[in-house]
Amino acid sequence: MTAMDDMGMRKARTMATEFVTDGHPDKVCDQIADAICDAAIAQDPKSHVAMEVTGGHGSVVVIGEMTTDAHVDIGKTARATYKSIGHDHDIAVLANVVKQSGDIDHGVSAKEEQGAGDQGVMVGYAINDGPNCMPRSWTLARALCMKLKELRESGRLTYLRPDGKSLVVMDGDRVTHVTLAAHHAA
């Protein structure tokens, strides 16, 4: 018999969860964008910052808009963030950051009817799978990546590099598949 929820729908039993380490390219780009935003806000709390970062193969491209009195050295911030993640080589940085459009700035700064500077859809939920209220597959995938990071940072596995990811697939309470990818020295 197939498990059903209270609306008569079939319950999905298989869940796949991927988790990435700090050195994964997507996460590197997010951390660089965050560092640029943090640097601007640290100097000017009223900064308006919209940054997009993409990268790979030894370079990153930073594109965005800023309205701020802060001076942020985009290249220096990107390189420092990249090194802080654990990479031991330099990157080329191409930046194209312009002042935010006056219309957008006014729309997000108006006191009475504040507009949205960007649009997004966020979905979140909690479940009773464990003490952290996250799916067990997420907890296991995260634990694998945290162990990779611990082994690299402690020096126990000196050949590990910052990039890695894990995938855990579960069917109900049973783990059916685990993939762990770890970037390493040759």
> pLDDT tens digit string along 86-119?
998 999 999 999 987 766 655 666 555 555 556 6
- Alpha helices, DSSP H only, in 65-133? 74-85, 102-109
CATH for the stretch 25-109: 3.30.300.10
pLDDT in tens, 17-58: 999 999 999 999 999 999 999 999 999 999 989 999 999 899
Instruction: Please give the structure tokens belonging to residue 58.
Output: 């030894």
Phi, psi of 8, rounded to the nearest 5 degrees: 80, 10
**2 has a pLDDT exceeding 60:** no
CATH for the stretch 14-21+125-184: 3.30.300.10
Q: Domain spans of the chain?
A: 14-21+125-184, 25-109
- Report strand pairing: 48-56 vs 59-67: antiparallel
Which class for 125: exposed (0-12), middle (13-18), buried (19 or more C-beta within 10 A)? Answer: exposed
